[in-house]
Amino acid sequence: MAETIYLGIDLGTSRTSITTSNGVRETVWSYVGYPKDHVAKKKLGGRDIIYGKEAVENRMSLNLFRPLAGGSIKARGNQDTAETKKAVRDLMEYVVSLAKVPAGSTIYAVVGAPAEASVEGKASILEAAAGCIDSVIVCSEPFAVAYGLDFLDDTLVIDIGAGTTDLCRVHGTMPEPDDQRTHEVAGDKIDQILAQFIKETYPEAQFSINMVRSFKEKFSSVSTKMDEATVTMPVAGKPKEFDITELVYKSCYSMVPPTVEALQDLIATYDPEFQEKMRNNVLLGGGGSQIKGLGLAIEHALDEYGGGKVTTVEEPQYAGSNGALKIALDMPEDYWREFQSSVAQASAGGDGGEE
């Protein structure tokens, strides 16, 4: 009898993580690159596709795609080009290959999607999975985080990614659309804000958005006692040091007001008897949860609404994929058989396999 392997996948704009029932845990940068010409292909060992960090490092030789940034999966109404669809499919196949599934095995996967992902976005995930997964269920990323940590009773989950910040109200059942909110002040937006602040403050400095992202990842903080952030950027080709401490603080803090606004909206529209309990049971996850002092900053911002308590997940890199795997393992076999047709439906342009 063929072995069944279960996968939990957190399909992220910046990084994609996979956790599997056969003990694999891997993370890859969500980039796909295709050699520009025969010289580039020769340089890269004859390969047709380069993935992850290696693709970014060799981007001058590649047609580089970050296919989950700004596509249909991340934003309503966005249309994917044929090239983007191919890149999403190639990325999905590469991530699944990391699971080292034995030949002939049946593969069941739960894939995390943004809290308010559109029907088109979920269909794009199903279509991308058609060639490498036997049955797929798409669930809310923040719900997967909560499920993996057993935060299922009157909990508010914040999942901060690169493209979106997703919020989900969890109350002992699968979330409905009214239980979820999404806003776009997340990792990528913080990078853009920081880049603009640097440009305005130090117009002579030369930098790229990749440099700005590395500055943010090294120094990100919303603590009033944050460490000094000193970076090196060229000026007319000559390296020079710059103090960007205040700029980093202001950039990172920009995500607090819209996040608290969305939290309060979810609280205010919940049963009044349980609002206080939910406000004091906020779970903060995703890559953005690593911004120093963020949980405390959100708590302080909630003071005017009656206060709140924020818990930051200990393993943000894998919290989503771990939770997705747990959902997959807990899902009755009948559900998988029911959703087994979803991949075929997606390939034909239909919608299925979503939770």
CA–CA separation, 305 and 278 (whole Å): 12
Using pLDDT thresholds of 50, 70 and 90, give the confidence band for residue 346. Answer: very low
The predicted-structure confidence for 164-196, as pLDDT tens digits, reads as follows: 898 999 998 888 889 988 898 999 999 999 999
pLDDT score at 71: 58
Task: Taking residues 220-245, report their average pLDDT.
Answer: 95
Stretch (H or E) spanning 89:
helix 82-97
CA–CA separation, 224 and 38 (whole Å): 52
**Is 271 exposed, middle or buried (CB count within 10 Å of its CB: 0-12, 13-18, 19+)?**
exposed
Using pLDDT thresholds of 50, 70 and 90, give the confidence band for residue 49. Answer: very high
For 41-55, 114-128, 215-229, 339-353, which range has the lowest pLDDT when averaged over its residues? Answer: 339-353
CA–CA separation, 178 and 230 (whole Å): 43
pLDDT score at 48: 96
pLDDT score at 1: 52
pTM, to two decimals:
0.82
pLDDT score at 67: 86
**Averaged pLDDT score across all residues of the chain:** 88
Cβ atoms 324, 144 nearer than 8 A: yes
Using pLDDT thresholds of 50, 70 and 90, give the confidence band for residue 289. Answer: very high
Report whether pLDDT(328) > 90. yes
Instruction: Give the other-Cβ count within 10 Å of 160's Cβ.
Output: 25
The predicted-structure confidence for 139-151, as pLDDT tens digits, reads as follows: 888 899 999 999 9
Residue whose C-alpha is closest to residue 105's, from 217, 190, 258, 2:
2
Cβ atoms 157, 167 nearer than 8 A: yes
List all residues 6 or more positions away from 348 whose beta carbon is below 8 Å from its beta carbon.
none
Report whether pLDDT(312) > 80. yes
pLDDT score at 53: 94
Q: Could you give phi then psi for residue 8, rounded to 5 degrees?
A: -115, 125
Task: Taking residues 233-245, report their average pLDDT.
Answer: 96
List all residues 6 or more positions away from 32 whose beta carbon is below 8 Å from its beta carbon.
49, 50, 51, 55, 64, 65, 67, 87, 90, 91, 94
pLDDT score at 205: 97
Domains by residue range for the chain, with CATH:
4-30+70-145+317-347 (3.30.420.40), 31-65 (no CATH), 187-253 (3.30.420.40)
Query: What does the block give as tokens for 326?
Result: 């747990």
Report whether pLDDT(348) > 90. no
Per DSSP, the three-state class of 40 is: helix
CA–CA separation, 244 and 197 (whole Å): 9
Cβ atoms 31, 51 nearer than 8 A: yes
Give the rounded percent of residues in the chain with a pLDDT score beyond 90. 65
pLDDT score at 339: 62
